[in-house]
Structure 1
Amino acid sequence: MNKKACAAILLLITVLNACTSLKPISDAAAKSQKSLAVFEELPTTYTGFCEERCQFTLVRKSEIKRDSTRGCDCKLFTAADRATVKVYNAINAYFKSLGALSKGDLTTYDTKALSEALTEGQFASLTIDKKTVTAYSSLGRLLLQVFTDSYRKKKLSTVIETGNEPLQTLLSVFGTSIGNLVSELEFQKERNYALYAELILSEGSAYEKLTLSNNYYNEITRLKQKQEQLRTFAKSLVAIGKGHQNLYENRNKLTSKEIRELMADYSASLQDLIVDFNKL
């Protein structure tokens, strides 16, 4: 066997060993994506809340319309949904890229998710401030640079170091957005309580009041279930933030036993939250 062949084999062994040692990170990135994907299954949106408010107003007025959303201005609520989706896409694209890099895959990347700009402003109850816009842009630039020829030679630790601050900012805003939806559901519960309490006190047969009571508690149960789904997803965002913070703090020893153990615990905690969500 000539020297060139030996060198090629040694290089291949080195690459394989590097990929194997970084497997806990690629696995954790994949689990992060799976956990984030729960967002697409959430039962509530800002726009949905706006439309329900309009419908509730019609019910209170005893009005019947062919289209309950006609004349219902939900532009800011729709903008809040779009901003939240952009933040979600940015975070998801980051972990997709992180997983690809840790596996040595320099061809799989996602820049389409960051093709739309995030705009500063107040959208319904969601605030997108300058810090959030800057974080979104910073993460986008990082992902564009990661797969260029000049950046490929840099360590995975550099990506983690550069990406941590904007990622944590976006995760925080994402969590706030989910918290706003929980609060909106709480408002719906209070609104329904006021309506049903009023109806119970009005004239009606015992059967009608029994039916009203049953409908009320069924509705409260439904709203509570939605809140628990949102809260469970919010917990996963906190876990993802802590998991990446651990990577950041240990970025110079990514192949260590400590990182393997931390990422194993991280993946397990996310899986538990996914299971909890699916049970709701």
Structure 2
Amino acid sequence: MKFIQVAITFAFASLLFGCTNLKEVQDFAGQSAQLSGYTELTTRFRDTYYREQPYISGDADRLAQENDLRRKAAYQDLLKIHQTISVYMQTLATLAGDKSFDLTPGIDSVASGIKAHPEFGIDKTQVDALSGLAKIAAKWATSSYQQRAVREFIKEGNEPLQTALIGMEKLIGYYQKTNDNEWKTINGLLELELSFTDQSEDKLLVTLARAHLQAKASEYQLADKKYLEARKGIQTIAQGHGLLVENLDKLSRQEIKDSLRQFAKDIKAINDHINSM
């Protein structure tokens, strides 16, 4: 009888220890699923023409309208990139013990697939990776074998996740370049007009123009900071998941748990920073 009691106690302790080991995985995945900034920056990218239209005309305006149509046509697909990665991370958090995520709507929303947009750096490689990621999330979402599921899920998902994150980071870089070009156009026009304005006769106009230029400069500088933070967040997620896949049989080691805890803190700090801007 005593042997049975000891065996039961040991088994129960092992179960608790196993769940504790996944707490850091859960926290890292939960923070990663909430990565801030991407939707806002994608919407800003879509609305480029709305902001630049007052400052352009002629051939420049016609070209800008063509680009506007392409951006709007790609918008929903660009959003799905983040949604797919978020669903993957929500699934990982749930498998690791977090019951706060309802996965069904997320999986349904990305199941329809994403089209390639090579002009924005999203080619067949990224599309296939995102499709694979969605399928992996759907496959494991209802698993009841927690420890094995987490390890197999991470192992199976790492390659498409890393590919998807590379594509996502490239997109943020493309958004940032578009933002820089947009600012150069607006700043160039305003500075040119101000240089030909008689400041002694049009003092009020010059003052208003300078104030407008200052406000626009602040807007574009703020957007630039968000691009940098978003890219930092994506890189941190990639590094954290890379640590997981390299240490699937060592998740109970203190140094791995400490590293995962730090990754989760870093992502939360990035999210908080973006949201505070």
Which category describes the TM-score, using the shorter chain as reference length? 0.7 to 0.9
- Work out whether residues 130 and 164 of structure 2, in 8 Å CA contact, stay in contact via their aligned partners in 1: yes
- Work out whether residues 175 and 237 of structure 1, in 8 Å CA contact, stay in contact via their aligned partners in 2: yes
Residue of structure 2 in register with 1:117 after alignment: 113
**2:20 aligned partner, one-letter code:** T
Residue of structure 2 in register with 1:235 after alignment: 232
- Cα distance in 2 between the residues matched to 1:186 and 1:104: 40
Distance 1:149 1:222, change over 3 A: closer
- Cα distance in 2 between the residues matched to 1:218 and 1:53: 15
Any stretches of 5+ residues in structure 2 without a counterpart? Answer: 59-63
**1:52 aligned partner, one-letter code:** R
Q: How far apart are 1:82 and its partner, in Å?
A: 1.6
**1:31 aligned partner, one-letter code:** Q
Note if 1:25 corresponds to 2:25: yes
- Work out whether residues 46 and 78 of structure 1, in 8 Å CA contact, stay in contact via their aligned partners in 2: no
Q: How far apart are 1:44 and its partner, in Å?
A: 4.6
Distance 1:104 1:175, change over 3 A: closer
**1:248 aligned partner, one-letter code:** V
- Cα distance in 2 between the residues matched to 1:192 and 1:50: 12
Q: What SS does structure 2 have at the residue aligned with 1:252?
A: coil
- Work out whether residues 42 and 78 of structure 2, in 8 Å CA contact, stay in contact via their aligned partners in 1: no
Q: What SS does structure 2 have at the residue aligned with 1:211?
A: helix
Q: Whose relative contact order is higher, 1 or 2, with alpha carbons under 8 Å and at least 6 apart?
A: 2
- Cα distance in 2 between the residues matched to 1:183 and 1:245: 28
Residue of structure 2 in register with 1:67 after alignment: none
- Cα distance in 1 between the residues matched to 2:28 and 2:147: 22
Distance 1:262 1:81, change over 3 A: same
- Cα distance in 2 between the residues matched to 1:4 and 1:108: 39
- Cα distance in 2 between the residues matched to 1:144 and 1:278: 30
- Cα distance in 1 between the residues matched to 2:242 and 2:211: 47
Distance 1:104 1:28, change over 3 A: closer
Distance 1:6 1:28, change over 3 A: same
Which aligned pairs between 1:125-274 and structure 2 lie closer than 5 A? 125-147=119-141, 154-206=148-200, 207=203, 208-274=205-271
Q: How far apart are 1:6 and its partner, in Å?
A: 9.1
- Cα distance in 1 between the residues matched to 2:32 and 2:191: 44
- Work out whether residues 28 and 263 of structure 1, in 8 Å CA contact, stay in contact via their aligned partners in 2: yes
Q: How far apart are 1:89 and its partner, in Å?
A: 0.7
**1:171 aligned partner, one-letter code:** L
- Cα distance in 1 between the residues matched to 2:14 and 2:39: 39
- Cα distance in 2 between the residues matched to 1:46 and 1:56: 17
**Cα deviation digits, residues 40-65 of structure 1 (max 9, x gap):** 444853320133343433xx57xxxx
Q: How far apart are 1:104 and its partner, in Å?
A: 7.6
**2:237 aligned partner, one-letter code:** I
Q: Percent identity?
A: 21
- Cα distance in 2 between the residues matched to 1:6 and 1:39: 52
Pick the structure with more helix per residue: 2
Q: How far apart are 1:12 and its partner, in Å?
A: 5.0
Residue of structure 2 in register with 1:52 after alignment: 51
Aligned pairs, number:
267
**Cα deviation digits, residues 229-280 of structure 1 (max 9, x gap):** 1211111111111111111111121222122111111112112222332443
- Work out whether residues 45 and 81 of structure 1, in 8 Å CA contact, stay in contact via their aligned partners in 2: no
Distance 1:78 1:4, change over 3 A: farther
Give the structure-2-normalised TM-score: 0.83
Comparing 148-157 and 45-54, the one that deviates more? 148-157
Q: How far apart are 1:195 and its partner, in Å?
A: 0.8
Q: What SS does structure 2 have at the residue aligned with 1:251?
A: coil
